[in-house]
Structure formats: structure tokens, C-alpha cells
Homo-oligomer: A and B are copies of this chain.
Amino acid sequence: MEIEAVDFYYLSMPEVLDVGDGSQDALLVRVQAGEHVGWGECEASPLVSIASFVCPMSHSACKPLRDSVLGQRLDGPDDIRRIGDLVRANSLDLLQADHTLSGIDIACWDLLGRKLGAPVYRLLGDRYATPKLAYASQLFGDTPQATLEQARRVRAQGYRAAKFGWGPYGRGTVADDAAQVFAAREGLGDDGVLLIDAGTVWLDAVETAVQRLEALNACRVTWLEEPFVSGALGAYRALAARAGTVRMAAGEGCHNVHMAEQLLEYADLGYIQIDAGRIGGISVARRVAEMAQQRGVNYVNHTFTSHLALSASLQAYALSDADAICEYPVEPRQLALDISNEHLLPDAEGRIQLPDAPGLGITPNLDVLAPYLVDVEIRVQGKVLYRTPPLR
């Protein structure tokens, strides 16, 4: 069969707030081939990703994604990987391409899984999916007291692991940051797994980050996530060498396999965090999961959006035993919950189990999404290159 149509649906909360919450909008992608459909999601700026699919060609290595996707054969997993290679070659100089490809790749895997009646992880070679310990992923409170209360709440909800990130962390004094981390530990209890996310706030300033290590170690923090931007490999390595029992975590910014490989090789990470909706889809995420296993680095999903995106990111490391943890957004906006009919809910042990169902096992709930649909029109030389399609 051939890919006959790729449709993008830009969804958004009525109001988008200036906070580090990635669940406020979404870009759903539907791929159609023959009588089959599959759904994916880009973790990306929706308008810019749409533009990268339809833009005019600039030259042979700066083509719109549609040129590498529409009309392509899609009979098996190798076709999905081949399409990814085509996109990377034909859109080499189109920076946004990897983010856009991500949703298309996910939709292709979903489509194949649905057609064959198998979960995506089985198409990837994993016989079954092991449950993962969900860590409740959320923003820091504005004050230590607010963080304390949030930590108590997620603990009361049954989560045995929690991550706090962004917000005020790293923007005030060393003492301010310490107070936040101590509050999180107190609220979560002594036996909870505590993770801290600095949201790249120190860019590549090692000494500024080092000042935070004492509190992180005192609070037995498992990982410090993104103290630096993804490319600051030497800064990661230098901090890791002085971080005691706290391990470094990073990787959500990776938009191709090479960036992830460099983090694995040069940054001395304890955990690599990959978002299938950014790195180029499940195909690339899976390659990174295999590389991480070979190098003894723990692989973890990055997800801060819908349960469709969550399922996609979990498929890449379904079977792995060593990586017994997964990111689970606990306070997403209503949009992120409304996107899908099915939801991945923690069991009594606080674990997430991928569904034993075709494709991603998560289907979009088109009936309720109309109020979120953003109306977009892109015209070039008077011709409509994109107009928001109806939800059907």
C-alpha cells in the first residue's frame, strides 16, 4: 500500500500560559494508506511543523516533508525507516524537519500495528511489555510550601516516584533552590524516588550547578535533569564527576540519533530521556534505546503531553527490565486528556502498562476535539498550501 494522505490537526487550549507546561497544545498527525489509518503526535510548535510539511522546495536538500512521504510504499517496518532516511536526506537543511517527521513516523507505526493487529512494541521485536514505575512529573510550586503540598498530594495518590522541575528552580539563590528540594523530599517521604529537573537553566555553567549538589545529595535525589543544554557535553561530564550519588539525566532536546549517541558517549549520563515526538519518531527512539542498553545507560521516555504521545514514547523500550521507570505527566491540561479515548492509568503499585492492543493502543477522541481545533491557513503565491482539515 501507499501513503495517500497525511493530515495535521493543530489543537490548543483556549489560553496558553507562559509556563513550562508542554500540554497546552498538540499537533496530531493522521496517516492514511489504503483502507488503513494511524495516528501520531509531534511534540513541536504546531504551526512551524505544518509549514515544514507544505513549504516550497528551496533546493534538493531543503524540500518539504510531503515530498518524501506522500506516495511512499508502506508495507512493513523497513518502509518506515526508509521514509525517515528519505526525509533526513531531502530535508537536511530544513531544521524543523525532525520534529515534523516524529509525528509521521509514530502514525506509520500505529497504522502498521493496527493493520497487523499487533502492538507497536511487538513489531519492534519485543514479545511483551513490562510495567514501568510511573514518576509523577510536574512543575515546581512557586514556593517551597506549594512544592511540599504537591509532593504530599502525589504521594497520597499512590505515586512512589516524583519529579519537580522548571518554575523558580535555578533562578533564585542556592538557598532558595535547596529549600525547594528539601520540601519535595519531605512531601514525598523518605522512601520515594525523587527527581529534579533544572530545565537547562544554567546553559553550560558548571560551577553554578555545582553549588546545588549539596542539597541534591542531602535529599538523595536520583537524577538531576538538564542542568545544561543538550549540546554541552563537557559540562555534563564535569558535573557528573562531582555529583556524588546524583546521576545526570538529559536527552529530551535530541532531534536525531547522533545527538543522543554523543550524550551517551561523552556526557557521562545515568539516564537518557528521549521523546519519540521530537527525535524523529519511534524508529529513532528505538535505536537510541538499543544503544543505551549496550552502553549501560538507563533509557527513559520524555513525555509531557497526551496519552497518545505517552504510548508512542513507551513503545521504544517496552521490554527493557533495567529501565523500570517512566515519565508520567500528572497535571496535564484538559486538552491532553481529551485527545484520546483510552488512558494509561497507574495500577495499585503505581506502574504503567502498555496496552496489549493494535498499534499504539490509543485512539483519538475526535468527537470532543472540535473546540480545541485551531483554524490555520497558509497561502503562497495565492495558492492554499494548508488549511485545517475537518475532524472526521
Contact = CB atoms under 8 A, between A and B. Distances in A.
Interface of A: 12, 16-22, 24-25, 43-48, 50-52, 54-63, 88-89, 92-96, 98-99, 166, 199-200, 204, 229-234, 253, 255-259, 261-262, 265-266, 278, 374-382
Contacts of A229: 88, 92, 256, 258
B51 A18 contact: no
Contacts of A44: 93-95
Contacts of A22: 58-59, 62, 93
B253 A232 contact: no
Contacts of A59: 16-22, 24-25
Given A51-B48, A258-B229, A18 B57 contact: yes
Contacts of A57: 16, 18
B47 A56 contact: yes
B58 A92 contact: no
23 contacts: A16-B56, A16-B58, A17-B59, A19-B60, A20-B61, A44-B93, A45-B52, A45-B94, A47-B380, A48-B52, A48-B95, A51-B51, A60-B166, A95-B98, A229-B256, A231-B259, A233-B258, A234-B261, A266-B266, A374-B381, A375-B381, A376-B380, A377-B377
A16 B51 CA distance: 18
B231 A261 contact: yes
A256 B231 contact: yes
A99 B92 contact: no
Given A43-B93, A96-B96, 6 more contacts: A47-B51, A92-B229, A230-B258, A232-B258, A234-B261, A374-B381
A234 B265 contact: yes
A265 B56 CA distance: 36
Contact of A375 (B21, B50, B257, B380): B380
Nearest to A27: B58
A234 B16 CA distance: 42
A178 B367 CA distance: 60
Contacts of A199: 61
Nearest to A201: B89
Contacts of A98: 95
Nearest first, the 4 closest Cβ-Cβ pairs linking A and B are A231-B258, A51-B51, A47-B55, A96-B96
B95 A24 contact: no
B48 A48 contact: yes
B20 A60 contact: yes
Contacts of A17: 59
